[in-house]
Amino acid sequence: MGMTMTQKILAAHAGLDHVEAGQLIEVNLDMVLGNDITSPVAIKEFEKYGFSQVFDPGKISMVMDHFAPNKDIKAAQQCKACRTFAYAKNIEHFYDVGEMGIEHALLPEKGIVGPGECIIGADSHTCTYGALNAFSTGVGSTDMAAGMATGKCWFKIPEAIKFDLRGKLAPHVSGKDVILHIIGMIGVDGALYKSMEFSGIGLQSLSMDDRLCMANMAIEAGAKNGIFAFDEITEAYVKDRVSRPYVTYEADADAEYCNVYHLDLSQITHTVAFPHLPENTRTMDEIKEPVRIDQVVIGSCTNGRLSDMAEAAQILKGQHVAKGVRAIIIPATQEIYKQCIQLGYTEIFIDAGCVVSTPTCGPCLGGYMGILAENERCVATTNRNFVGRMGHVDSEVYLASPAAASSLYMETPVVAPASAIMGRIAAPKEVA
């Protein structure tokens, strides 16, 4: 029996010719990632077991992105612990205030992760890098500690689900709509400890930003990882970013899948996940009653890239956020922030009544920069909408694409930008 993309990568990193679903293996790691929340725990475990040196200072990344710039004393202490450790161990990829970005946007942007690599991160959305044809997955801080010390990690080989993509996305429909559609279809446990593998001619319709978004939210379906077939779009993205040699992997024709889904991208439309699960999805035509909102957040490791900013700017230009709606824009990296300034997006956002933040995970996990009060509603381009995710347990988060979110500014709110203008959940066509 042949192997899937994920199985091939794990086999190669274990020095094996063949692996099968359910098999336990130890693999060599290409990158170990932590942030300002998870790294301090890993550092304590690392030191507790008497390790003095990391396995390779060039293969560890620490990104201060969750509560940085520090929101309080505890956050300051956590960042200090990371900073002290990184300087003492000569960690090559340490990113602090002023040069950091949201980790899952920053690492691909800088070419720190690349095709065919095996990556772990003490953050569940580490699965983002599967967009580059890598195996990447989230782990606990203890596993991060072991990875920093040994450069190795144990895995059970996952079964795989194949998503055969066909057709072409409609205007303003994005990878966010596709992955919300999929999660709505299979559920938040529909891919539990499985590899979600994306291939087919429909990939040509998906930009790298679309793919990064979709791989990012594989965890929202319970997946071990998400991974995309390598093609010319992937190659063009990594060309000027990844200077080291890399290997690409494609599934064998006789690879075994526990499920195969055939998706026509042309049939997917704007999709919103209602509270309190990413699987609670509705298309815009299924939303019969206006859903009034208090806040819109456009950003995060899911949708804070330049194309997301461009989509929001296109909808917000010449418009103004609806009265009573707070619109928060978060470019995912310093480079994206700079490009927003150069391209005039920042001015558009400010003129529309938005606030533009430094790169941070902030509101996505209920940290800061946009905490919700009791009974408030937010349309967000983030990845989770669990109870209390963005603040009070009686608040609500609606997940949408940047195009949808931007519409929130008008008197009647819509999806992200559109919703900002409208003051309710809305589609981009409503503000055209």
Provide the pLDDT confidence category of residue 95 given band limits of 50, 70 and 90.
very high
Within-domain flag for 308: yes
Same domain for 290 and 234: no
Within-domain flag for 96: yes
Query: Per-residue pLDDT tens for 143-157?
Result: 999 999 999 999 999
Within-domain flag for 293: yes
Query: Per-residue pLDDT tens for 390-416?
Result: 999 999 999 998 876 665 443 333 345
Residue 52: count other Cβ atoms within 10 Å of its Cβ. Answer: 9
Within-domain flag for 246: no
**Under 8 Å CB-to-CB from 236, ≥6 apart: which residues?**
none
Within-domain flag for 164: no
Q: Is 125:104 a contact under the CB 8 Å cutoff?
A: yes
Report the alpha-carbon angle 286-288-289, nearest 5: 140
How far is residue 412's CA from residue 294's CA, in Å, rounded to a whole number?
A: 12
Any idea what DSSP says for residue 79? H
How far is residue 122's CA from residue 113's CA, in Å, rounded to a whole number?
A: 15
Within-domain flag for 417: yes
Where do we find the tokens 């079964």? 159
214: its two tokens: 């979709």
58-87 in b/e form (b: 16+ CB < 10 A) is: ebbbbbbbbbbebeeeebeebbebbbebbe
Query: Per-residue pLDDT tens for 355-392?
Result: 999 999 999 999 999 999 999 999 999 999 999 999 99
Residue 85 maps to which CATH number?
3.30.499.10
Any idea what DSSP says for residue 391? B
Residue 129, domain extent: 5-158+204-209+230-238
Same domain for 283 and 427: yes
Query: Does the model's pTM come out above 0.95?
Result: no
